[in-house]
A = this chain, B = another copy of it.
């Protein structure tokens, strides 16, 4: 079924203990659409500046991503993010953010995208997310991401989006802040009471946990002895989840669990190299192989 992502397309500058990359393809919508393209056809809505390299557009197009919602602003500059990871690399330190066209333009949703059934509203100002959410009349499962800025300072707007989405994906610190409870399990239930039936929490090296219709399920991360760049881990996790859901068309608790395994596998590949480099060569066969290894890793024998 159709899968739409609305979010940022960026040029990222990243430093990790393993190296540095300047102005590489980034942004939540890029990571998400490239990741999900391994599962299903993806529609992308985002905005770029005149300076956005044609090679990145070509790469996205080569993944069979529908770019009719990618709006280039003449004379505008593309959103830029610069960050670094140190030590455990469990969180990015933002060095610089240049919103550029992202701060000034809300990209139009193409008419032919309005029938999308699976939708990810990537991290954005809540008002922008709500504007999209309310137009998605054919939605079967609409999930939102968010960040601390909106949780801390735009809570009213955020609550209006929470009231209309089916799910939210966010990291554990954000979940504690949004739920207003230092206990993550309790915070997840409180977030769900704000609207979304499904609350999906990303915990980096500690895996992920979901609350959906009264039930919890958790997964450890795939064990990796080397992580070169965590950028996009959360977005590719969401991509695996939503890509799998859209490819199967079914949103049950059982299918959400299956989807989380694919999200975990996709994110584990993504962090093996800088930016989207690992996903450029990744195949569905790679995913299926590591999926099988992950299932073996999870086997506990207590059934």
Q: Annotate A267-303 by CB proximity to B: 1 below 8 A, 0 otherwise.
A: 0000000000000000000000001000101111111
Within the complex, what minimum Cβ distance (angstroms) separates A252 from chain B?
A: 10
Decide if A182 touches B258 in the complex (CB within 8 Å).
no
**Contact of A163 with B by CB under 8 A:** no
Q: Contacting chain B: which of A46-54, A68-76, A152-160, A214-222?
A: A214-222
| Sample of 9 A–B contacts (CB below 8 Å) | A185-B225, A207-B207, A209-B223, A216-B223, A254-B301, A257-B299, A258-B300, A295-B302, A295-B303
**Contact of A43 with B by CB under 8 A:** no
Residues of A within 8 A of B (CB): 87-89, 176, 182-186, 189, 203, 205-207, 209, 216-221, 223-227, 254, 257-258, 260-261, 291, 295, 297-303
CA distance A291 to B291 in the complex (A): 26
Interface centre among A89, A184, A302 (most CB of B within 10 A): A302
Decide if A216 touches B297 in the complex (CB within 8 Å).
yes
CA distance A43 to B236 in the complex (A): 50
Copies in the complex: 2
Decide if B298 touches A300 in the complex (CB within 8 Å).
yes
CA distance A93 to B188 in the complex (A): 26
Residues of B within 8 A of A302 (CB): 257-258, 261, 291, 295, 298
Given contacts A203-B206, A217-B297, 9 further A-B contacts (CB under 8 A): A87-B182, A189-B225, A218-B221, A220-B220, A257-B299, A257-B301, A257-B302, A295-B300, A299-B303
Residues of B within 8 A of A209 (CB): 220, 223
CA distance A297 to B302 in the complex (A): 12
CA distance A257 to B261 in the complex (A): 20
Shortest Cβ distance from A291 into B: residue = B302
Residues of B within 8 A of A221 (CB): 218
CA distance A183 to B230 in the complex (A): 12
